[in-house]
Amino acid sequence: MSDTQASDPQASDAKAPDPKAPDASRRSERSRRAIYAAALALVAEHGYARTTVEGIAARAGVGKQTIYRWWPANSKAAVLLEAFLDLAEEAAGGPAGSEIPDTGDLAADLKAVLRATVDELNDPAFDRTARALAAEGIVDPDLGAEFTARLLEPQLRLYARRIEAAQAAGLVDPAADPRIALELLVGPLHHRWLNRTLPLTHAYADSLVDLVLRGLLVRK
């Protein structure tokens, strides 16, 4: 094996930056971002079912083989899942999957993350795409299972860990089920968002946290 990546077949994979070709790497990154943007825009405009790999490629100005090569399995769902994760990270102002901060003040920490979720759901670009994907996941069990496993459950585990930390600190009743407790926080928010019943505001996020914590906190 050579001591450079030049003779390694993996080096031709656009995902692995080639140290000898920084321009190629930048071009790949530009193409990747163009594909994300095209995929998100098409889903927001036309829905999941009418979005095609061909359409994404044409709008992104890349060949459709680029998409099939970079996302070989279940290409449309795979590119959209990745594009949406990227959008969620941008909307959240940081990488998805980062822990909920533990300042020692559980109410403040949960309010901060629920307020950020409210802001995300009120962002028109995020809202349209998230609705299109949610609608498809609701009627397509396979796609829904993939979104739930790869997008939703990792987020829910962050809440569970923050609540478990509060239990370890003696603040939350050890008998409370962290899974059900977190569903009391995210469930109402999503219900209000999906059904457009009442406005999603920071005040609402705060009220949810306060009412849920009334039931969770250890009583003195």
CA atoms within 13 A on the CB side of 21: 15
Alpha helices in the chain (DSSP H): 22-46, 53-60, 64-70, 75-92, 106-121, 124-139, 141-147, 153-168, 178-195, 202-216
Number of residues that bind a copy of itself (CB under 8 A): 46
- Which listed range, 1-9, 34-42, 134-142, 163-171, lies at the site for a copy of itself (CB under 8 A)? 134-142
Q: Could you say which of 138, 154, 168, 199 contacts a copy of itself (CB under 8 A)?
A: 138
DSSP SS3 for 12:
helix
Q: Residue for token digits 């083989």?
A: 65
Asked if 202 interacts with a copy of itself (CB under 8 A), we say no
Q: Could you say which of 57, 172, 188, 200 contacts a copy of itself (CB under 8 A)?
A: 188
In sequence order, the 6+-apart residues with CB closer than 8 A to the CB of 181 are: 163, 172, 212, 216
Q: Per-residue x/- mask for a copy of itself, residues 10 to 49, rule CB under 8 A?
A: -------------------------------------x--
DSSP class of 150: I
DSSP class of 217: B
Contact present, 186 and 157 (Cβ < 8 Å): no
At its nearest, how many Å lie between a copy of itself and the CB of residue 9? Answer: 40
Asked if 111 interacts with a copy of itself (CB under 8 A), we say no
Contacting residues toward a copy of itself, per CB under 8 A: 47, 131-132, 134-139, 141, 144-145, 147-148, 152-153, 156, 176-177, 179-181, 183-184, 186-192, 194-198, 204, 207-208, 211-216, 219
